[in-house]
Amino acid sequence: MCLAIPARLTELLDAEQAIVDLGGIRKQVSIALVPEARVGDYVIVHVGHAIGQIDPEEAERTLAMFGELAAAPAALETTP
């Protein structure tokens, strides 16, 4: 029910509407709840409305954190 998908905003339209790109599929959504969204931003789409935005730097940081985790046990294994 609470499923929502990150989609790239490709075009701003009138009346707080916008076109987003979902892996090649174009869809019109409402951006009334994220009025600050701009073309190129990734918004999180839920029941036809963008309800939030992806912070690209934080996404990188989270992925890097997974990566560091991946490195740590390997380092432990080298010391018997």
Partner 1 sequence: MKYIDEFRDGDLARKIAERLHDEAQGRSYSFMEFCGGHTHAISRYGITELLPANVRMIHGPGCPVCVLPIGRIDLAIRIALEHGAIVCTYGDTMRVPASDSLSLVRAKARGGDIRMVYSATDALQIARQNPQREVVFFAIGFETTTPPTALAIRTAHRERLSNFSVLCCHVLTPSAITHILESPEVRQYGTVPIDGFVGPAHVSIVIGSAPYEHFAQEYRKPVVIAGFEPLDVMQAVLMLVRQVNEGRHEVENEFTRAVTAEGNLTAQALVAEVFELRPSFEWRGLGEVPYSALKIRPAFASFDAERRFGLGYRPVADNKACECGAILRGVKKPTDCKIFGTVCTPENPVGSCMVSSEGACAAHYSYGRFRDIPVRVEVAA
- The residues that touch partner 1, with contacts defined as CB under 8 A, are 1-6, 8, 22-23, 30, 32-35, 42, 44, 46-49, 51-56, 58-59, 61-63, 65-67, 69-70, 72-73, 76
How much is the CA Rg of the chain, to the nearest whole Å?
18
Residue 7 or 11 having the CB closest to partner 1: 7
DSSP, collapsed to helix, strand or coil, labels residue 55 as coil
Q: Tell me how far, at minimum, the Cβ of 42 lies from partner 1, in Å.
A: 6
d(CA 29, CA 47): 9
Residue 11 or 67 having the CB closest to partner 1: 67
